[in-house]
């Protein structure tokens, strides 16, 4: 789609405003809107200014002027605004150098795609993220000098099975048993369907939706796979549609990896494959899982760099409430076909070339998808380039291994602090092709330590009072 096509589309759809969106470093969409008359071909060429010092992870106040460069290929009508509004996703540019901004996550993703082509290993990477999240009815939280708390509620929470709801009609999924009975146990069928219609209206194709394992409205909506940057754009649309569909139905949505104690957390299993000349280079009949040596080395790269990757693919303190044994969380640095207790899984539903891919199960939906997909791609490329063999597969339940056998299996680090240290020590593979710059990595690590690790580390935890108040 050209700028002229976008202007025509806006007129045909009766758009009154144009919403310009871009992503901050942690991974939230930012936006501002302009009247549709301001949408000109010159605007596409020149860009439009904004204050970069007010965006997390971007500029300091003395260098705050930045430009948004509109991407005409991303045009879509917002399915939620009362006033007809056309949405355009943007890249960020430095107005002085007229160079694309190296801390812009979307630009990093575009550079990762270009780097893949430059290696001649493949020309396209395909990505299929499976985001899980919760619909809640009420959420309250606060932290001050003398108190700290959160309260969650859901009409479908099993903790409400004994509540006088005048009347309580039952059918609340038991803990860890939400996958996936029909309504009325599943109370979210229509909400998910509404969300799917919103996604498809903006060009995001959906393959399936269903209730997930946890009680209280855990949900999964699976999108059709696509190229890296476009798929990351789709993840942002996914979150936008989930949150706004929830609000439309009087609920709220959260992508926190672990909001509920002692039930399953929300992951973002990411299916990925490399293609060259229209051929899937991960596919080779007859080998383990019908994968090629390139796929095997790609897995080797993912597993070798997994501790560092976690700083970008499981990038919150809450991520490590999910990545613990016993809740279907993939914490073991091994690969397997079919086995969902491994970090890397080779799905075997089909033997066809088009279906062959690798599923990396460690990421969660708190990540910035542009950075997460780019980092996984760079780790996989490093594995292929260096022929990093992942060792033998393990096709048994890793949670039920005998202690002696379990000792030999490496596991993921257990905190955000540890994985940031790992990224600091192991990031050379991310710098290839100038995909990630040293500045972008340093900024990410510094931001996470100052704004997430330290604030959590310094605060008393509510359960510490139960443990220690009478000590």
Q: Write out the catalytic residue numbers.
A: 51, 130, 132, 212, 220, 269, 340, 359, 361
Q: How many CA atoms lie within 13 A of 437 on its CB side?
A: 11
How far apart CA 317 and CA 43 sit, in angstroms, is 40
DSSP state of 62: G
Nearest to 259 by CA among 186, 375, 154: 154
How many residues are there in the chain? 471
Cis peptide before 436 (omega within 30 of 0): no
Q: List all residues 6 or more positions away from 357 whose beta carbon is below 8 Å from its beta carbon.
A: 126, 128, 225, 271, 272, 273, 282, 347
**Residue 239 CA, distance from chain mean position:** 9
Counting beta carbons within 10 angstroms of the beta carbon of residue 30, is it exposed (0 to 12), middle (13 to 18) or buried (19 or more)? Answer: middle
How far apart CA 272 and CA 153 sit, in angstroms, is 35
In sign, the C-alpha dihedral spanning 356, 358, 361, 366 is negative
Nearest to 67 by CA among 108, 114, 126, 20: 20
Counting beta carbons within 10 angstroms of the beta carbon of residue 110, is it exposed (0 to 12), middle (13 to 18) or buried (19 or more)? Answer: buried
Nearest to 273 by CA among 374, 454, 126, 379: 126
CB 358 within 8 A of CB 452: no
In sign, the C-alpha dihedral spanning 305, 309, 311, 315 is negative
How far apart CA 342 and CA 331 sit, in angstroms, is 7
CB 237 within 8 A of CB 180: no
How far apart CA 133 and CA 119 sit, in angstroms, is 36
According to DSSP, the residues that pair with 150 across neighbouring strands are 141
How far apart CA 366 and CA 28 sit, in angstroms, is 10
Q: List all residues 6 or more positions away from 48 whose beta carbon is below 8 Å from its beta carbon.
A: 20, 34, 67, 68, 70
């Amino acid at each position: 789609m050209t700028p002229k096509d976008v202007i025509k589309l806006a007129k045909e759809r009766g758009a009154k405003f144009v919403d310009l969106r871009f992503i901050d470093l942690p991974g939230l969409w930012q936006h501002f809107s302009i009247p549709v008359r301001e949408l000109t071909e010159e605007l596409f060429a020149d860009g439009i200014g904004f204050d970069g010092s007010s965006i997390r992870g971007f500029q300091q106040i003395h260098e705050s002027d930045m430009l948004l460069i509109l991407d005409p290929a991303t045009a879509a009508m917002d399915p939620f605004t009362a006033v007809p509004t056309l949405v355009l996703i943007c890249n960020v540019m430095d107005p002085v150098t007229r160079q694309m901004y190296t801390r812009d996550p979307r630009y990093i993703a575009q550079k990762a795609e270009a780097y893949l082509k430059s290696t001649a290993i493949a020309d396209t990477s395909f990505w299929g993220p499976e985001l899980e999240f919760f619909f809640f009815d009420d959420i309250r939280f606060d932290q001050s000098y003398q108190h700290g708390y959160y309260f969650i509620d859901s009409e479908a929470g099993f903790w409400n099975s004994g509540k006088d709801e005048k009347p309580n009609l039952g059918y609340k999924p038991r803990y860890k048993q939400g996958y996936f009975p029909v309504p009325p146990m599943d109370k979210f069928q229509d909400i998910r369907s509404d969300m799917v219609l919103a996604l498809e209206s903006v060009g995001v194709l959906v393959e399936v939706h269903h209730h997930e394992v946890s009680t209280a409205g855990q949900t999964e909506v699976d999108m059709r796979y696509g190229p890296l940057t476009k798929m990351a754009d789709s993840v942002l649309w996914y979150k936008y549609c989930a949150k706004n569909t929830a609000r439309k139905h009087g609920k709220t949505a959260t992508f926190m990896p672990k909001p509920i104690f002692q039930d399953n957390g929300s992951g973002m299993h990411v299916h990925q494959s490399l293609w060259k000349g229209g051929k899937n280079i991960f596919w080779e009949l007859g080998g383990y899982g019908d994968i090629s040596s390139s796929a095997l080395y790609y897995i080797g790269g993912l597993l070798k760099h997994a501790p560092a990757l976690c700083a970008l693919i499981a990038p919150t303190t809450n991520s490590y409430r999910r990545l613990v044994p016993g809740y279907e969380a993939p914490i073991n640095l091994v690969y397997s076909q079919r086995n969902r207790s491994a970090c890397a899984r080779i799905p075997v539903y089909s033997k066809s070339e088009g279906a062959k891919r690798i599923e990396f199960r460690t990421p969660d939906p708190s990540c910035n998808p542009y950075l997460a997909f780019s980092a996984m791609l760079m780790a996989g490329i490093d594995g292929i380039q260096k022929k990093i063999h992942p060792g033998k597969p393990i096709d048994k339940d890793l949670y039920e291994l005998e202690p002696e056998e379990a000792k030999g299996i490496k596991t993921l680090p257990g905190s955000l602090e540890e994985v940031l240290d790992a990224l600091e020590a192991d990031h050379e593979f991310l710098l290839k092709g100038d995909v990630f710059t040293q500045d972008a990595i340093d900024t990410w690590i510094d931001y996470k330590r100052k704004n997430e690790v330290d604030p959590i580390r310094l605060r008393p935890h509510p359960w510490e009072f139960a443990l220690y108040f009478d000590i």
